[in-house]
Amino acid sequence: MQRMSRLFVRTLRDNPSEATLVSHRLLLRGGYIRPLGAGIYSMLPLAWRVQRRIEQIIREEMSQIDCQELQMPFVHPSDLWEHTGRFESVGPEMVRFQDRWDRDMVLAMTHEEIATDLGKWFASSYRQLPVSFYQFQSKFRDEPRPRGGLLRVREFTMKDAYSFHPDFESLDDTYNQFVEAYVRAFRRCGIEPAVVESDALAMSGSMAHEFHCLTPAGEDTIVVSPTGTYAANMEVATARKPVFDHGAPAPLTKVATPGKTTIEEVAAFLDLELHQTLKAVFYWTGDALAFVAIRGDLAVNEAKLRHLLGVPEIRLAADQELEAAGIVAGYASPIGLDNVTIVVDDSVESSTNLVAGANTPNFHLTNVNYPRDFQGTLVGDVSQVRPGDLHVESGEPLELQAGIEIGNTFKLGTFYSEKLDATFLAADGSQHPIVMGSYGIGIGRLAASVVERYHDDDGIIWPSSIAPYDVHVVQLGDSAVATGADVLAGELEASGLSVLLDDRSESAGVKFNDADLIGIPLRLTVSKRTLAAEAVEFKARTDENAENIPRDQVVATIKKAHADGIAALTPDAPIPMPSLG
């Protein structure tokens, strides 16, 4: 048992001013975490026990799919990162430094390169494939805007796994196993995850999925259909685009639009709807400008645009970059524009007689038609889905929900193995690059997501599977009560339950408030009154009222309540999710 008088914890009565999200506030108040710097936290004993229980659940699920645990270094020589090109392409979120011999080093923000190197060392033949391994390891990403306590941090513990295959069919099979194992693990932790399609470009993969805890605290936007047949991150979501009849193509006409520089101003001035306009949005791709031509009622989805351009990063172009290219901000047009990549959203293909800039201050062009009046370098879907847009296949109206990403899976294919020359000998004697997958879970973020889902005004309500302790025993009274509480706690421990014993010399109100704040699912109270009645007061964290249990039935009752709490989690229920391909 752990005596609370000796527990390394300090609870807070008031809400910390810096904490705006529920999980951040309650984890600070409950003495689970302690900030050291922006996005850097100490995991105190209560949080560490939660983390260890989450890790154990994941270990059990990984064992079920024959994935082996190991640990890779946190500090990496730059060589492997240079071979894949990510030493240069990854931005300032990756910490680079030099050791005492002036060799370039990095702090791990992910482990694809190191995992590939291990796979190359191990799997020289098809007979050794497939194989997979995982680790629990620290990562550091220098987030520009850490927020929300453990939800967006710079240093964190990641469970990351990597699989190695002779072909894509083998990868598909293992990928599906990982997805199912992840869903079971999240459910055992109390989260019913939304499995959504996501952007694979960041990992140079061919397919990716994310696992989200749906909650208003989430900073990701998830697009879902009411029946659950479609779910995707906003970054990759698609929908039917409404088609409007703007009439047969008419002659191009130049009109005066004095001082009207925004689509909204131009549409109002010419008495048009936004879908009758052509919006110009400019991006800098690292070495060149990209002109995005999109219908005026739609917004650019930057992740889709990155995909279409085939670049890792983009940003909105600065005014000086537009000026250097001879582009008139507010009046730009793709017509007659040279030396700029023109990206045409497919909404423009199905629209006629749009209004666009004239590349002249205070003038626009009416009756602009594609491809009659201008050509696109690239054409595709780069628009953002809106609530109410219709699903491409079913026609269902789509909804937007907020989610916290708690895990991800990627089909990496051969990108890393080709870069690092990780090949294997096939049965016919030929050499082939190893086909790879990558799979991750953020442990701290998962714990914080559970708090976002399970809490009330008084504190955290941990699911039985990952609570720091199974039972919270509160003693109220003198030495006789203390002895009775000690004996009870010992019996519970002997039965296989973990116990936090509040033996502090505090008032009943303080102890009960702390018990609710810390959030252990089962509470027992030993007092003079209960001793006299040969009973113990029992209250589940989710119950409003307490009840007395005969002393000789306490252990059996609590063991059953704990087992019922575990059984209430249903990891093997059917898994609703989009096709994994």
- The model's pLDDT over 446-497, given as tens digits with 9 standing for 90+, comes to 999 999 999 999 999 999 999 999 999 999 988 899 999 999 999 999 999 9
> Can you give the pLDDT at residue 286?
83
H helices of 165-218, where?
Answer: 168-188
Spatial separation of the C-alpha atoms in residues 336 and 375, rounded to whole Å: 9
Q: What CA–CA distance (Å, rounded) separates 459 from 449?
A: 14
Between CA 63 and CA 283 the distance in angstroms is 46
**What size, in residues, is the chain?**
581
pLDDT tens string 360-404: 999 999 999 999 999 999 999 999 999 999 998 888 999 999 999
More confident residue, 101 or 204: 101
560/330 Cα distance (integer angstroms):
69
Angle between helices 443-453 and 45-64 (to 10 degrees): 110
Q: What is the pLDDT of residue 581?
A: 45
Distance CA 25, CA 521 (A): 19
Contact 329, 322 (CB under 8 A): yes
Peptide bond into 146 cis (omega under 30): no
Residue 203 pLDDT? 53
Q: Is 345 helix (H, G, I), strand (E, B) or coil?
A: strand
Q: What does the pLDDT average to over 289-309?
A: 93
Q: What is the mean pLDDT of the chain?
A: 93
Tokens of 166: 């002779």
128: pLDDT confidence band, cut at 50, 70 and 90? Answer: very high
Show the domains of the chain with their CATH numbers.
20-237+400-452 (3.30.930.10), 253-380 (3.90.960.10), 464-567 (3.40.50.800)
Cα distances from 166 to residues 327, 536, 556, in angstroms, run 51, 61, 52
Res 307: pLDDT: 86
* Average pLDDT rounded to a whole number, residues 107-132: 96
Contacts of residue 271, Cβ cutoff 8 Å, sequence gap at least 6: none
CB atoms within 10 A of CB 23: 28
Specify the 3-state DSSP secondary structure of 156.
strand
Contact 125, 424 (CB under 8 A): yes
Among 220-234, 258-272, 440-454, 518-532, where is mean pLDDT lowest?
220-234
**Separation between Cα atoms, residue 293 and residue 296, nearest integer Å:** 9
Query: Residue 315's pLDDT is what?
Result: 92
pLDDT range class, residue 116, cuts 50, 70, 90:
very high
Mean pLDDT, to the nearest integer, of 328-341? 87
Residue, of 29 and 236, whose pLDDT is higher:
29
In three state form, how does the secondary structure of 286-317 look? CCCEEEEEEECCCCECHHHHHHHHCCCCCEEC
- What is the DSSP track for 412-452? EETHHHHHTT-EEE-TTS-EEEPEEEEEEEEHHHHHHHHHH
d(C-alpha 349, C-alpha 293), whole Å: 10
d(CA 377, CA 289): 12
Residue 424: alpha-carbon gap to chain centroid: 33
pLDDT classification of 89: cutoffs 50, 70, 90: confident
Residues 6+ apart with CB under 8 A from 551: 534, 535, 536
Task: Band the pLDDT of 336: cuts 50, 70, 90.
Answer: confident
The predicted-structure confidence for 32-51, as pLDDT tens digits, reads as follows 999 999 999 999 999 999 99
457: exposed, middle or buried (C-beta count within 10 Å: 0-12, 13-18, 19+)?
A: exposed
Residue carrying structure tokens 């990209």: 290
- State mean pLDDT over 193-205: 75
* Residue 576: per-residue pLDDT: 61
C-alpha–C-alpha distance, residues 177 and 100, integer Å: 44
Confidence class of residue 204 from pLDDT cuts 50, 70 and 90? low
Return the residue matching tokens 């796994």. 161
Counting residues of the chain whose pLDDT is more than 70, the rounded percentage is 98
The answer to whether residues 370 and 376 touch, using CB atoms and an 8 Å cutoff, is yes
Strands of the sheet containing 315-316, edge to edge, are 315-316, 278-284, 289-295, 341-345, 378-380
Task: Name the residue with higher pLDDT: 329 or 540.
Answer: 540
Proportion of the chain above pLDDT 90, given as a percent = 82
What is the number of alpha carbons within 13 Å of residue 67 lying toward its C-beta? Answer: 28
pLDDT of 577: 54
Q: What predicted TM-score, i.e. pTM, was given to this entire model?
A: 0.90
* C-alpha–C-alpha distance, residues 403 and 220, integer Å: 5
